[in-house]
Amino acid sequence: MSITGIKGEFELHTEKEAFFNCAFLAALSNGNSIIHGVKATPKFAVFADYLRGLGATVNANEEQWEIVGVNFKCEKDLSLEWVGNDFPHQKRNKKIIENLLGGTPFHCEEKVAVKNSLIRELATFGAELEWKQDGPDENDQLAKRMARMQGIKNERKWICDIPPVPSLLARDRFIAGDVTEAAFLALAASLIPDSEITVKVVSLDASRAGIFGAFKRLGADVEVISRHERGNDIWGDVKVKSTKELAGKRLGTEILSTCLDEIPLLVALACFAEGETILKLPLWAADFCKPVLSILYENLKVAGIESGLYEDGLILRGKAEIEGEGFDCKSNPAIGLALHVLNKKAKGKNEVIGIECVENIYPGILGLVK
């Protein structure tokens, strides 16, 4: 299986979760909202039908969606399956929506801000809310020592308060490109010699796009070359070149909390890092992440990578070259993306087992890495 350098500029599909949050609020709002620059997957068309079922008018024309909202007057009871229920941020979002529709206030406190696009979209659509970081300055070492001496927990936390929202205002919106797709291309470009790519208009939301920082921690040549901010939105262009040398690092809960979806891609990069890479997962994500790590662990054995699972995460020792045949993603799209790159590096003769699942979520993406 030949492998050639990747070059060029890429503009990928719109970030699905952020787009669904935005489109849903547009459907609940009072007036006509327009979402620009939409690069949809087939899943978006299914969601458009869901919004129409609530009574909203949805016109999806090429890269522009026009949504006429129902001003909270939904034609049927809402199903919130699209929100998900695996991660704490999904449980939080579901509760926000339930309180929003029920006219009741919402309050939560979180140690790390994780995937807060629904909160930011609510603010954009006119909801009066408070989303702030509270607690002592992280750089105030004296306050930290005093608190420890007194046995006081002295941690910073994020606080969200949303009073009852009588109405949402229609808006013009733009949702940036998908972080997981961008991270897949960044992984491939980092590991495949003679590669140089630019991923255009990708989300740089700090609560979602931690994978680029994690890649840089391991030594990948990843650079944000253009950064844009509009209201609560942050996006930009990311340039990635082939990496000459990677070094294993200890990656803790704070950075991993902002890239849980991309952990398989991070593990794939660490396979080629000199020394040990240790991933320490946040406890609240263990139920979701441990099955993913177990699948990755089995595939690392196929690749000949020394690794081990422990209570809080995964440890592995990288090496310059890998080999192996019979990688199996167990129908997990993110793992499929990671193993696709490992399979190319191992010069595998056969495709990754179960790789078909990737096309359903990220259509066309595998064809960019041949």
| Number of folded domains that form the chain | 2
Least confident piece of the model among 104-108, 232-236, 340-344, 350-354: 232-236
CA 54 to centroid of chain Cα atoms:
27
CATH number of the domain within which 245 lies: 3.65.10.10
Cα distances from 70 to residues 24, 99, 225, 254, in angstroms, run 11, 17, 40, 39
Range of the domain at 92: 16-174
In a domain? residue 260? yes
Can you name the residues that pair with 307 across neighbouring β-strands? 316
Residues 218 and 272 in one domain: yes
How sure is the predictor about 287, in pLDDT bands with cuts at 50, 70 and 90?
A: confident
Residues 122 and 236 in one domain: no
Model confidence pLDDT, tens digit, residues 70-118: 999 987 788 999 999 888 899 999 999 999 999 999 999 988 788 899 9
So what's the pLDDT on residue 143? 57
Model confidence pLDDT, tens digit, residues 8-49: 999 999 999 999 999 999 999 999 999 999 999 999 999 999
- Tokens encoding 168: 């949402």
Q: Which residues contact 15 (CB under 8 A, 6 or more apart)?
A: 175, 176, 177, 178, 179, 203, 208
Q: Is 74 left (phi over 0), alpha (psi -120 to 50) or beta?
A: beta
CA–CA separation, 56 and 10 (whole Å): 33
In a domain? residue 138? yes
In a domain? residue 52? yes
CB atoms within 10 A of CB 102: 10
Residues 47 and 120 in one domain: yes
Residues 38 and 141 in one domain: yes
Return the SS3 of 153.
coil
Sort strands 233-241 and 276-280 into parallel, antiparallel or unpaired: unpaired
So what's the pLDDT on residue 152? 57
So what's the pLDDT on residue 313? 94
In a domain? residue 4? no
